[in-house]
Amino acid sequence: MKKLIIVTLLVIIIPFLFVKIFVKTDEIKFKYITNNTIRVKDEKTGVITEMPFEEYIKGVVAGEMPATFELEALKAQAVASRSYAMYQMTATKDKDYDVLNTTANQVYLTDQQLKENWKDKYSEKINKVKKAVGQTSGEYLTYNDQVINAMFFSTSVGATENSEEVFVSALPYLRSVDSIWDKDSPVYVDTYKFTLEDFYNKLNLPFNQTLNIEVTSKTSTGRTRSLKINGIDINGRDLATKLNLRSNYFEIIQNENNVTITTKGFGHGVGMSQYGANGMAKEGYKYDQILKHYYKNTKIKKN
């Protein structure tokens, strides 16, 4: 009788273990609770697609943050992206679209694009992203009961920026905070080399064998707001854009007919640092703690 029971258990358990170990995990499927949608415009083609809001957030988290990041960082990104999208929807309510699918708003990638990017890692990575989105479903950030403009970027220079030092408005929740974790970012420091002629051409400046740089204004963290190049006024962010630099925290050095520029950080520096968020998550911080660090005096609400 005992042998019969043992044999029966083995017949049941062994196939179960085989399935758990060897069969590929199915992709997580979302269950939509609401019919909320968002209109996403492809900046390249002009095509506008209306889609479920949480489906959009999944494509944004996958497009904006590496799926290899810690789950708590991905959850923080999901809430920040959801908040940013909601804020944009109030600003674009009279337009035929809500958001663009590029860095002009937030990068959104379709499933087809993600499959092409991730290949055989697609199921594993999309499930992790969906887990982050699902575990924060409907959550967004508010300040004084109003959804916030939850800006974010890749890598800080060791601290984030006050919003008015980069953009126009001084927003109370977008204050400069320490972000010491960013030093682990692969783009924390970068170097660019130009010929002197190419440097002037890209900036639409007249050629001069002598390069005279005078920084006239910096942000509180050391980013260049304005400078003079051979006496001509230049905006620091404009220079970074024209030279395709990662940020406007830079040092420019001339070496005869060559120019070397060293940058620190990646992105505009306002709001949540993504590499900072991942560093915090590695130290055990939860997503709500990460969000409250980067967005001062905000609260998480849920639809």
222-281 pLDDT, tens digit each: 999 999 999 999 999 999 999 999 999 999 999 999 999 999 999 999 999 999 999 999
Range of the domain at 148: 37-153+269-302
Under the banding of pLDDT at 50, 70 and 90, the label for residue 17 is: very low
Does residue 29 lie in a domain region?
no
Does residue 2 lie in a domain region?
no
Entry pTM: 0.86
pLDDT value at residue 168: 87
In this structure, the answer to whether residues 232 and 285 fall within a common structural domain is no
In this structure, the answer to whether residues 230 and 244 fall within a common structural domain is yes
In this structure, the answer to whether residues 68 and 110 fall within a common structural domain is yes
In this structure, the answer to whether residues 129 and 45 fall within a common structural domain is yes
Under the banding of pLDDT at 50, 70 and 90, the label for residue 27 is: low
Q: Does the structure show a pLDDT above 60 at 16?
A: no
Residues for the chain: how many in total? 303
Does residue 167 lie in a domain region?
no
pLDDT value at residue 24: 45
Does residue 277 lie in a domain region?
yes
Query: Which one has a higher pLDDT value, 14 or 163?
Result: 163
Does residue 162 lie in a domain region?
no
In this structure, the answer to whether residues 124 and 70 fall within a common structural domain is yes
In this structure, the answer to whether residues 45 and 83 fall within a common structural domain is yes
Q: Which two tokens stand for residue 7?
A: 């044999």
Ranking 80-94, 136-150, 198-212 by mean pLDDT, the lowest is: 80-94
pLDDT value at residue 1: 53
* Contacts made by residues 194-198, CB under 8 angstroms, sequence distance 24+: 194/243, 194/258, 194/259, 194/261, 195/257, 195/258, 195/259, 196/254, 196/256, 196/257, 196/258, 196/259, 197/257
Does residue 28 lie in a domain region?
no
Count the domains in the chain.
2
Ranking 30-39, 86-95, 134-143 by mean pLDDT, the lowest is: 30-39
In this structure, the answer to whether residues 225 and 252 fall within a common structural domain is yes
Helix axes 71-91, 274-282, angle to 10 degrees: 150
Q: Does the structure show a pLDDT above 80 at 3?
A: no
